[in-house]
Amino acid sequence: MRLKSYVLSLLTAAGVAAPLAAVAQQVPKPANEQVVVPEIDRRDVKLPRIPSNDFVVGLFTGVYATESFGSSIVGGLRVGYHITEDFFVEAAYARTKVSDESFRQILPGGVFTSEEETLTYYNVSVGYNILPGEVFLGANRAKASALYLIAGIGSTKLADQSNQTINFGLGTRVFLADWASVQVDMRDHMFSYDLLGKRKSTHNLELTMGLSFFF
């Protein structure tokens, strides 16, 4: 303390103390200087477990047009998994009836053993959401939706013949809630069969509508 007083007296005698004090007052304090230190008791917060809803299970029905054999009602089951917001994979199984009534008018005995045969198919497909958006129901209500492309590979069984099948098409999905949606699909199932004495490549169009549940 004596040394400090002695130094200040020397600076005052030399006329330096007053300018230094003025400069010290002009130096601004740091902007981030914390004046008041808050004393807050932190509480533990338990984060909610929000479901991801990546898995989907659904039923569908519609019309399946078998080339050369007409159209009939089709019904099936689909199971899927959404990898990202854009990509998803889906497995489907369905069955329908196929009739050779038109051939029986020309060919004695027809093509099949009986007039009707069961057609079944299964496939695994990859889909891509190209136009996610909303569907407006009236002026004040909107539902999330998505338009997607889908393609895959599988097998179709008809008249005891199993044929490798490629399917592709597009569809749309409208969410009724976070856990349910209405899905409309239009696909082409391409496979070849040998039922008329010659192997033939066919395009079999399908239009379906179904209800899917997410969990």
| Residue 212 CA neighbour count, 13 Å, CB half | 27
Residues 132-142 have pLDDT tens digits of 888 887 778 88
Residue 17, pLDDT > 50, answer no
Confidence check: pLDDT of 148 > 80: yes
Indicate the pairing of strand 87-99 with strand 116-136: antiparallel
55-214 to CATH, choices 1.10.3720.10, 2.40.160.20, 3.60.20.10, 3.40.50.300: 2.40.160.20
SS3 104: helix
Give residue 53's pLDDT.
83
What is the per-residue pLDDT for 8? 54
Residue 94 CA, chain-centre distance (Å), reads 22
Average pLDDT of span 170-199: 92
